[in-house]
Structure 1
């Protein structure tokens, strides 16, 4: 079972991965707040997606976030590490993403 620290580190790893790939992928025109809720650990993180980068990662939920990612700790880590396919995870309800449909289309470019 994943820990809060492992989930936090996974988000920071994702931020570093996005930053490293930003130039090759081009900038993503998306500026939204993100809440990442880890259900089995009863914890949450929040951040901002800006220009294809994940910035300002902090502990705590943001109930007004425009995008919410909801998953168990192990699923979150597997998703970020690329061991869990995002489409299958959403289809099987291992992971839930709450966002408007246009944001979801843009988010696909990040993953």
Structure 2
């Protein structure tokens, strides 16, 4: 099972990937959305804000936040790490239900292009 530190590191790497994306992908990253990633196995949620291709203001909260983010992800810590490492394709994880997303369809498609 992935640790909190490994999951936080995966989110940091995701933020780096967003910042270093190719120009055509960077357009997809230019969202201005609140983001949460609930890790079901750890019982905690990382919250932050996706802005200008960067994940900013990341905080860790116990359980599920009361206020829903504009892009809300739910998965295990292992799946988060595997997706960021490239071992688990986002589309496959989403289609199989390993990753749940609450967001507009346009945001889902943009996110898919980044992971």
1:42 matches 2:46: no
Q: Distance in 1 between matches of 2:38 and 2:72?
A: 7
The equivalences for 1:20-39 within 5 A come to: 20-21=20-21, 23=23, 25-28=25-28, 29-39=30-40
Moved more, 2-11 or 51-60: 51-60
Deviation at 1:25, TM superposition (A): 3.4
Match of 2:89 in 1: 85
Match of 1:3 in 2: 3
* Secondary structure of 2:34 counterpart: strand
1:35-62 Cα deviation digits (max 9, x unpaired): 1000001011011111232222221254
* Secondary structure of 2:36 counterpart: strand
TM score, norm. by length of structure 1: 0.88
Q: Which runs of 5+ in 2 are unaligned?
A: none
**Divergent runs of 4+, >6 A:** none
Q: Distance in 2 between matches of 1:83 and 1:21?
A: 19
Task: Report the number of matched residues.
Answer: 111
Deviation at 1:24, TM superposition (A): 6.5
Q: Distance in 1 between matches of 2:17 and 2:106?
A: 23
Are the structure 2 counterparts of residues 26 and 86 from structure 1 closer, same or farther at C-alpha, using a change threshold of 3 Å? Answer: closer
